[in-house]
Amino acid sequence: AQKVTQAQTEISVVEKEDVTLDCVYETRDTTYYLFWYKQPPSGELVFLIRRNSFDEQNEISGRYSWNFQKSTSSFNFTITASQVVDSAVYFCALHSGTYKYIFGTGTRLKVLA
């Protein structure tokens, strides 16, 4: 069975703090993709990153970084020096084997000024 777990329901941090959002996935497939999407208060879903199962290199994009570890089936997302505009719900998703994309339940991040 395929599953994505985001155990952190809600996180609050003060602006400029670093924060890590956890994502743990389950799949028996050897080829799969992992994603992060952001949903700001306006409600739209914004793509952040895609990572395939053969690429365990960490990625950094500005203040955002992603740590992919197949050994622990995790794909964690870190925001460095958080800003109020980072306040959103963040979803981790898994795509493997079929046309289906499986989403986690999301983590609501509140960045306080």
Partner 1 sequence: NAGVTQTPKFQVLKTGQSMTLQCAQDMNHNSMYWYRQDPGMGLRLIYYSASEGTTDKGEVPNGYNVSRLNKREFSLRLESAAPSQTSVYFCASKGESGGSNEKLFFGSGTQLSVL
The residues of the shown chain that bind partner 1, judged by CB under 8 A, are 6, 9, 33, 35, 37, 43-45, 47, 50, 91, 93, 99-106
Identify which of residues 79 and 94 has a Cβ nearer to partner 1 in the complex.
94
What tokens were used for 10? 């809600």
DSSP state, 54? T
> What is the smallest separation between the CB atom of 45 and partner 1, expressed in angstroms?
4
Strand pairing class (88-95; 107-112) = antiparallel
Identify which of residues 25 and 91 has a Cβ nearer to partner 1 in the complex.
91
How many CA atoms lie within 13 Å of 56's alpha carbon, on the beta-carbon side? 6
- CB-based contact 10:107 (threshold 8 Å): yes
> What is the smallest separation between the CB atom of 41 and partner 1, expressed in angstroms?
13
Identify which of residues 20 and 31 has a Cβ nearer to partner 1 in the complex.
31
Distance of alpha carbon 110 from alpha carbon 107, whole angstroms: 10
> What is the smallest separation between the CB atom of 108 and partner 1, expressed in angstroms?
10
